[in-house]
Structure 1
């Protein structure tokens, strides 16, 4: 019974987050980007161009142009992802249709690109975090990723370069450059929303000053540190490897601590998913 309630809660939470995400993207598009002829990537970008050329509603194009991708994705990927994406795209189409009569909040193109990118990125990030997507090109990218040597990011980027180039001939190249600004900002915000501001990073440090660095990391960051025994493949000399997991926001301080003791230290950083209580910070006195 409890498991069933938790499952229902999870489903409802995802639905609400997808609707909220699509609503934020609608605001980013209709209040900031579209009034200033700044476009987004993927099917949304094609929809903005099509709406501008034909004068038909943007919401109509965002839904109709995504339908073929829903059909392909349902057969190739699975219904859960496609249903979440369908909900997101439907919510976006309704949202931009409702907001279309409202005038843009600013006519400053740079401000529109920045704030439009932030709000749109936050919306897309919530949707991705909830297991959906806001763009049919991502469905195609997932399918091609399985059948080719290209990554999902590379395939999506190819689509967007083609779309933004087309927009340059229609809206002007200055608008295309502002669109790139908005796209870059949205991409960064999506990363923060999906991974979290407190995203965990695994750090490995090779240094001759390992004891001093270990002590400083423990005292100043309050993080548990693990010492691994290493050996040079060529020199055969033994050395200590410091392993520590920190948040994204602590990386700058960690680098400063390490390089203060040894400016020649080797620092490698990677993103990790962490579970367990041992990761929690210790009190710093």
Structure 2
């Protein structure tokens, strides 16, 4: 609940302190609610609650009662913080700065809530359902949905505000992916060394990661080589390079990002 509250606080800050006062909207149900509130003059909180109800039910059916209650709590806290922040003047009237920092605050807030088993917007619930069935990331799916919603801001405000709104969510989508993956983002590691066995044992004993030895052959020398393959998290990258530096500074090392890891004994925190 602490992280759900912090996430709602960050999103409310991005909305009321940066975006909404500069007529740059958020995406998803929140963006639709902002535009309907602007058109009708009704309270923003009314639309946030009513329009999110169907998606809360979807979350309940797909993920259970805990997810639904977490989402309801997050939306209520978002409404409270947004109401509290509404009278506060914006930190900046520079559109570019407001767009970038508003997107960052929203992305961090949304990411924190998703990582801790809830959602702040109905489209996030829908995106979590979709991402289970496709190789796309949460940020990519949310951005795809919001391009259409944010584009409609051109009819309500102006077309330059619509473009700034899309830019804000590009920033937010990237921030969501970073926070959801966190420092646990996976990396693949390939190591070629004459001390492969010692390095492999050190990785297993000091990092607790399993390694796989592959048979390789140098194309130039024709010599047989033992190749180490393993998967680590971002937090473990510096430890791994330190291990290799200690054992064989001349070892060949290649590290790459991995979008998804399944099976085996690789353990990674689940976002739900």
The bucket for the TM-score relative to the shorter chain is 0.7 to 0.9
Preserved CA contact (<8 Å) 1:29 1:120: yes
Match of 2:120 in 1: 134
1:238 to 1:140, Cα distance in 2 relative to 1, 3 A: same
Report the count of equivalent residues.
Answer: 246
1:118 to 100, 104, 113: 104
SS of equivalent residue, structure 1 residue 88:
helix
Match of 1:201 in 2: 186
Measure the CA separation in 1 of the matches of 2:180 and 2:144: 22
Preserved CA contact (<8 Å) 1:138 1:152: no
Give the drift of 1:63: 1.4
Measure the CA separation in 2 of the matches of 1:18 and 1:126: 7
2:9 pairs with 1:34: no
Measure the CA separation in 2 of the matches of 1:239 and 1:66: 57
Deviations along 1:207-252, one digit per CA (max 9) or x if unpaired, are 6xx3489999xxxxxx8695612358xxx9954323353626958x
Match of 2:257 in 1: 269
1:169 to 1:73, Cα distance in 2 relative to 1, 3 A: same
2:56 pairs with 1:70: yes
2:234 to 247, 252, 260: 247
1:95 to 1:267, Cα distance in 2 relative to 1, 3 A: closer
- What does 1:157-172 align with in structure 2 at a 5 Å threshold? 157-172=143-158
1:81 to 67, 71, 75: 67
Preserved CA contact (<8 Å) 2:191 2:229: no
Unaligned runs of 5+ in 1: 1-14, 217-222, 276-285
TM-score, scaled relative to structure 1: 0.70
Measure the CA separation in 1 of the matches of 2:34 and 2:110: 17
Give the drift of 1:34: 0.4
Give the drift of 1:22: 0.6
SS of equivalent residue, structure 1 residue 38:
coil
SS of equivalent residue, structure 1 residue 101:
coil
Give the drift of 1:176: 2.2
Match of 2:203 in 1: none
Preserved CA contact (<8 Å) 1:202 1:270: yes
1:189 to 1:142, Cα distance in 2 relative to 1, 3 A: closer
Unaligned runs of 5+ in 2: 200-205
Measure the CA separation in 2 of the matches of 1:137 and 1:227: 40
1:73 to 1:113, Cα distance in 2 relative to 1, 3 A: same
Match of 2:3 in 1: 17
1:144 to 1:28, Cα distance in 2 relative to 1, 3 A: closer
SS of equivalent residue, structure 2 residue 77:
helix
Measure the CA separation in 1 of the matches of 2:235 and 2:174: 14
Deviations along 1:167-224, one digit per CA (max 9) or x if unpaired, are 123222222222222212222322333333x3353323266xx3489999xxxxxx86
Measure the CA separation in 1 of the matches of 2:85 and 2:191: 55
SS of equivalent residue, structure 2 residue 155:
helix
